[in-house]
């Protein structure tokens, strides 16, 4: 299967935002080729070194946050589905509690 490295880079940059700490640092944890491409695009510091984290550039920090929202933010529809699912779980738990009380 041929993979789209641009899509991989966008997803990796977005996911790097999840590890954000100390202002603009994030834990590096992706394939070296991906990290090198992100560095070449000017989004992160050079990933080669002893440090277990990299530094976002200003552009990289903004773009990673934008991509995180674009690619992974829950939509109104998703939030509504999750809410209904939660209601269903709560109702099922209450039914189990009532059934357990009847059996006691």
* Model pLDDT for residues 41-88, shown as the tens digit of each residue: 999 999 998 888 999 999 999 999 999 999 988 777 665 665 565 666
Q: What's the mean per-residue pLDDT of the chain?
A: 84
Contact present, 47 and 32 (Cβ < 8 Å): yes
The predicted structure's pLDDT at residue 78: 60
**pLDDT at residue number 26:** 93
Cα–Cα distances in angstroms (integers) from residue 25 to residues 9, 63, 92, in the given order: 18, 14, 43
99 pLDDT above the threshold of 70: no
Q: Record the pTM.
A: 0.68
Rounded to the nearest 10°, the torsion over CA 55, 10, 6, 74 is 170
Q: What are phi and psi of 91, to 5 degrees?
A: -65, -40
């Amino acid at each position: 299967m041929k993979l789209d490295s641009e899509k991989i880079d966008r997803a990796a940059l977005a996911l790097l935002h999840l590890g954000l700490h100390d202002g603009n640092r994030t834990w590096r944890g992706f394939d070296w080729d991906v990290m090198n491409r992100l560095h070449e695009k000017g989004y992160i510091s050079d990933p080669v070194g002893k440090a277990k984290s990299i530094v976002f550039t200003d552009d990289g920090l903004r773009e990673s946050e934008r991509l995180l929202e674009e690619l992974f933010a829950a939509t109104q529809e998703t939030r509504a589905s999750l809410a209904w699912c939660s209601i269903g779980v709560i109702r099922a738990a209450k039914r189990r509690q009532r059934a357990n009380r009847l059996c006691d």
